[in-house]
Structures are given as structure tokens and as C-alpha cells.
């Protein structure tokens, strides 16, 4: 609702506010408006401001309870939320947002069942808990368990619970639920999450995300409606069963990677329509069975250690997964290579040579967590097995924010070996487009870009996204250096980051061989 503009808008506001008891003594015309119109006005000012109008008069005392959208910030306590949700005659809620600091199972239980009865749209709950209080078992030891109610009419639920211990509802149907996201949660055993999210009780669920969870040892999902499943950091997961004939995307990340686990993780996935599979986890075909996945087009694997001990477990998981899809008609492969911060040629072997084959792909997304080391040899090794690619997306050190961790390695480091990557011929005859992210312009990175120009004779477009820590003046110097290696027919696009009061925003400039467009 607009405030109005010019003299006409000012006059309207003055007329509505006349007689509010502040001096004019006239009629209170604003309070005389019908509830539905006043509710629309209060929606524009937000929940906190709307709640403060309750002190104006008896007419306004409970008016804000009628809002169909409620947003409670951390200053709102459980009793205030409960009072708003329990008001008789209030309409269904299409939006409820709650942000709390250190909320307990008991405090959330004061209002959550009321929310389940009123909610028709989206519930977003964020419970911020200090890391020191997230130790596993704390909530269970205190005896506090949050019994999640069944949201019979809600469409979307996104709950970040701050590791509150929860129990899933044993009965009831989530008859309208399409999206469920549970983050930082400790499931109270026994947990029947799979029963709650399967088709009999969630017939229209399309997207399921479970991240950073404890206490979920067995998850079995049978869903006719699910299109996407994301599972990440499920500590203690031992068995995963998914039967989802419509599933299009499955992400399983660090759920079976517990080094202290005594038993082999087991997974059975039946998803014949699956197109995107990111299995960044333990993989052994004897216990992880994928069934018929003839439609997979995009594959993501566990990270691969470029230097290290020969029996490094993640490398074996990665290689076995690549072998499983070696002959499938993939379009895209997402692969991550990792380096330790310090390399010692007496303790660490060059492990890239164990990777002897890759699926025949058109798009390669390659992330290299280099820790300041040379990335040329490992990238060359991967590209040598990917000569059919049309597009290359390369990201370097995306998780490294410590300047010391990004420092150049010592002159005696073995990371630039073997040296054949600089001299051996490599023809990427189909590579037309390259995008490099988090570019810092280090000597190692520039050397690789120079080689790319020689390997890809048909390259048409290269995009460089500089790291946000790079200044504009430094970026311009690097741009000029890269242009000296390039060819006139290659369109070079450069992106830099500029700091603003609200964070970092991307500022694009397009640079050809002679001109930078700011």
C-alpha cells in the first residue's frame, strides 16, 4: 500500500490521523475503518510495529493478531508468539517467521502446536545456539524433547532447530506439504522420519532437505511425489533406502563418512528417473546399490586427494563411483581435487595417476582446493581424460579465507610435478567456453590459464571471476597480463567484487584486448 505522493498524499494522511487525541480532538477516522482494511495497513509496517499499536486503545488491542503473516524477531518470547497464534477467530497463516536465540524444546513447544493448527503456507524457524552448547546428547540428558506436531495444512516448513532434540509425529497426514527442510536437529530415538515423509503421510512432498543431524541411523523413504532429496552431515547414518520413481535430483554429502563407524554403510536407491546425482560420500558397490539409473546426466563425487597416502579412503570412493558411471551418457561431471597445506615428497605420493578414466562428458565442473599449491599438473591430468568437453567451470580455493593458508608454497614443494603438463600436447578441440571462479592471479593460476589458451584452439569465451579480496587495480594488472596470452577472437569477460555496506556485490566489466569497460 503506497503512502501517497505530493500534496494529495499529505492531505490524505493528515485527514486520516486527525482527531487522534494528540491535539485536534476530532473524530478518530482511522480506527473507524473495517478490520480487513486495518489489517492490510498493519501488514505494511511489519509485525513488531503492528504489535505496538495494541497500546493505542481497546479497538487496537488485539487487531494485530488478525495478521495473516507474522514475523517474530529474537526479542519476541514464546508467550507473545503463543498469544498471537491462539487468538480466536484469526485467519489461517500464510507466513510465520520466528527467529530465536537459544530456544529450548519447552519454549518452542509453547507455540508450535498452535502454529500447526493455523498455518496454511510457510513456516521458517531459526534457532541460533552457541557452538559450545551443541554437543551431542546435551538436550537428551536434560530430558527435553520437542514433539513435532503434524502440520496438516502447511505448504512449506524450514526448521533450523539449533540441535534441539525432536521426535517426529507418529500419526497425521501432511496433506499439503510440498517442501520440508530440517537443519541442525537431534532426532530422539527411535526416529520414524522416513514414515513421516513417505507418500502415505506426505502425499505431495516434492523437496526434502535434512542437514547436520544426529540420531538418524536408519532412513527409509517411499515416495511417489518427491522430486529432490538433499541429505548432508547425517551423523551416525548406517542405512538409507529410497524408493522414489519421480525423483530427479539426489544429494548425499558426508552422511556415511564417520571414521569410527564399525559397520559398512548400506544404501539402496531406486530412482529410475534420476538426472542429478551428487554422491559425495563413501561408496562401495557391494553395499551401496543404485539400481537402474539410465537417465543420470549430472554426476558429483567425493573429493579426490591429489597428494597423499596411497590407501586414502575418499579417493577409492571417488574412483569406484566414476567407474560405476563410466559408460553412462552423462552431460556434466562435478569433481573436487584437494591438497594438504604442506606436502612432503617422503610422506606423500602423487595420486592423480590412479585416476585412469572419466565418463565422456560435455561439461566439467572442477573445484581445486589447492592451499596455495600449483594446480597445473592435476588439472592437466583431468583434462587429458576429458577431451570432449564443451564447457569448463574451474573454481580454486573456494573455502580458503585465511591469507596464510593461501600463501604460495615453498620452492622445494613437489606440487608442480610431474612437469609434463607444460610440454605434453593436449588438444581440447571442442572446448568453447571457460569460466574460472575465485581467481587471485597467483603465478600458478596464471600459468594454467596460459596453457588453456594453447590447449583449446577453438576457445571463444573466457570468464574470470576474481576473488573478493582482489582490488580493482590488481585485477586490471592481471587482466592485461591475461590479454597478452589471449587471442583476438576470444571474448574475455572479467568480474570484480566491490565492498558495500551490505556485503559484497558483483560488478561486471567486459574487457577486450585493448579496453576495459567499467
- 254-265 pLDDT per residue, tens: 998 766 665 678
**Total count of domains within the chain:** 1
Residue 134 lies in a domain: no
User: Closest by alpha carbon to 211, among 163, 275, 167, 147?
Assistant: 163
Residue 407 lies in a domain: no
State CA 239 to chain mean position distance: 24
- 88-147 pLDDT per residue, tens: 778 899 999 999 988 999 999 999 999 999 999 999 999 988 766 555 444 444 578 999
- 429-478 pLDDT per residue, tens: 999 999 999 998 988 899 999 999 999 999 999 999 988 888 888 888 99
Residue 501 lies in a domain: yes
Which pLDDT belongs to residue 53?
73
Residue 330 lies in a domain: yes
Q: Which helix (H) or strand (E) holds 195?
A: helix 193-197
DSSP state, 101?
E
Which pLDDT belongs to residue 47?
77
Owning domain of residue 426: 299-400+413-517
Half-sphere exposure (CA, 13 Å, Cβ side) for 185? 28
Residue 67 lies in a domain: no
Q: In the predicted model, what is the mean pLDDT of residues 246-250? A: 98
Is 60 exceeded by the pLDDT of residue 26?
A: no
User: Closest by alpha carbon to 99, among 74, 63, 62?
Assistant: 74
CA distances from 400 to 70, 395, 499 (A): 38, 12, 19
Coil, strand or helix at 290: coil
With a pLDDT cut of 90, the percent of the chain lying above it is 53
Q: Is the separation of the CB atoms in 431 and 389 below 8 Å?
A: yes
Mean per-residue pLDDT of the chain = 83
Listing DSSP states for 423-438 in one string gives TS----TT--EEEEEE
Q: In the predicted model, what is the mean pLDDT of residues 216-223? A: 94
Helices (H), 27-70: 35-45, 47-52
Q: In the predicted model, what is the mean pLDDT of residues 249-257? A: 92
In angstroms, rounded to a whole number, what is the distance separating the alpha carbons of residues 345 and 416? 12
For the stretch 72-76, contacts whose Cβ atoms lie closer than 8 Å and that sit 24 or more positions apart, written own/partner, are 72/47, 72/97, 72/98, 72/99, 73/48, 73/99, 74/99, 74/100, 74/101, 74/128, 75/48, 76/48
Listing DSSP states for 104-172 in one string gives -HHHHHTTHHHHHHHEEEEEEEEEE--GGG--TTHHHHTT--EEPPP-SS-SEEEEEEEEEEEE--SS-
Residue 395 lies in a domain: yes
CA distances from 422 to 11, 289, 384 (A): 75, 41, 13
Residue 360 lies in a domain: yes
Residue 235 lies in a domain: no
Amino acid at each position: 500500500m503506497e503512502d501517497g505522493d505530493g500534496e494529495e498524499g499529505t492531505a490524505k494522511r493528515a485527514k486520516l490521523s486527525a482527531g487522534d487525541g494528540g491535539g485536534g480532538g476530532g473524530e478518530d477516522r482511522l480506527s473507524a475503518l473495517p478490520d480487513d482494511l486495518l489489517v492490510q495497513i498493519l501488514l505494511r509496517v511489519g509485525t513488531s510495529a503492528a504489535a505496538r499499536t495494541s497500546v493505542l486503545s481497546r479497538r487496537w488491542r488485539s487487531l494485530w493478531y488478525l495478521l495473516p503473516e507474522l514475523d517474530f524477531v529474537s526479542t519476541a518470547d514464546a508467550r507473545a508468539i503463543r498469544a498471537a497464534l491462539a487468538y480466536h477467530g484469526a485467519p489461517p497463516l500464510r507466513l510465520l517467521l520466528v527467529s530465536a536465540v537459544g530456544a529450548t524444546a519447552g519454549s518452542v513447544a509453547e507455540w508450535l502446536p498452535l502454529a500447526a493448527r493455523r498455518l496454511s503456507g510457510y513456516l521458517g524457524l531459526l534457532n541460533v545456539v552457541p557452538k559450545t552448547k551443541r554437543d551431542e546428547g546435551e538436550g537428551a540428558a536434560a530430558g527435553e524433547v520437542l514433539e513435532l506436531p503434524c502440520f496438516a495444512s502447511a505448504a512449506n516448513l524450514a526448521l533450523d532447530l539449533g540441535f534441539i532434540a525432536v521426535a517426529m509425529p507418529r500419526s497425521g497426514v501432511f496433506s499439503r506439504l510440498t517442501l520440508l527442510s530440517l537443519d541442525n536437529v537431534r532426532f530422539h530415538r527411535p526416529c520414524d522420519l522416513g514414515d513421516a515423509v513417505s507418500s502415505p503421510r506426505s502425499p505431495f512432498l516434492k523437496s526434502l532437505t535434512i542437514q547436520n543431524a544426529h540420531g538418524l541411523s536408519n532412513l527409509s523413504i517411499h515416495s511417489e511425489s518427491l522430486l529432490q532429496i538433499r541429505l548432508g552431515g547425517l551423523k551416525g547414518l548406517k542405512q538409507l533406502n529410497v524408493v522414489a520413481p519421480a525423483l530427479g535430483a539426489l544429494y548425499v554429502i558426508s552422511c556415511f563418512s564417520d571414521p569410527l563407524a564399525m559397520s559398512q554403510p548400506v544404501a539402496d536407491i531406486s530412482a529410475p528417473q534420476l538426472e542429478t546425482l551428487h554422491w559425495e560420500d563413501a561408496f562401495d558397490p557391494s553395499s551401496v546399490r543404485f539400481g537402474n539409473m539410465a537417465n543420470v546426466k549430472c554426476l558429483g563425487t567425493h573429493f579426490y586427494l591429489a597428494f597423499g597416502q596411497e590407501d586414502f579412503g575418499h579417493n577409492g570412493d571417488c574412483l569406484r563411483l566414476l567407474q560405476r558411471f563410466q559408460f553412462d551418457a552423462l552431460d556434466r561431471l562435478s569433481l573436487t581435487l584437494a591438497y594438504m597445506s604442506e606436502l612432503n615428497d617422503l610422506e606423500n605420493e602423487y595420486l592423480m595417476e590412479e585416476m585412469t578414466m572419466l565418463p565422456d562428458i560435455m561439461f566439467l565442473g572442477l573445484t581445486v582446493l589447492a592451499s596455495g599449491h600449483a594446480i597445473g599438473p592435476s588439472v592437466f591430468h583431468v583434462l587429458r581424460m576429458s577431451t570432449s568437453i564443451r564447457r569448463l567451470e574451474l573454481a580454486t580455493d573456494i573455502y580458503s579465507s585465511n591469507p596464510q593458508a593461501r600463501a604460495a608454497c615453498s620452492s622445494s614443494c613437489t606440487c608442480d610435478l610431474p612437469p609434463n603438463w607444460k610440454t605434453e600436447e593436449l588438444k581440447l578441440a571442442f572446448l568453447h567456453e571457460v569460466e574460472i571462479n575465485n581467481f587471485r592471479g597467483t603465478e600458478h593460476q596464471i600459468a594454467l590459464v596460459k596453457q588453456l589458451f594453447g590447449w583449446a584452439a577453438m576457445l571463444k569465451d573466457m570468464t574470470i571471476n576474481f576473488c573478493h579480496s582482489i582490488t580493482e587495480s590488481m585485477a586490471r594488472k592481471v587482466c592485461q597480463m591475461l590479454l597478452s596470452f589471449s587471442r583476438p577472437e576470444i571474448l574475455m569477460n572479467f568480474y570484480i567484487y566491490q565492498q558495500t555496506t551490505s556485503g559484497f556485490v558483483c560488478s561486471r566489466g567486459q574487457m577486450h584486448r585493448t579496453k576495459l569497460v567499467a
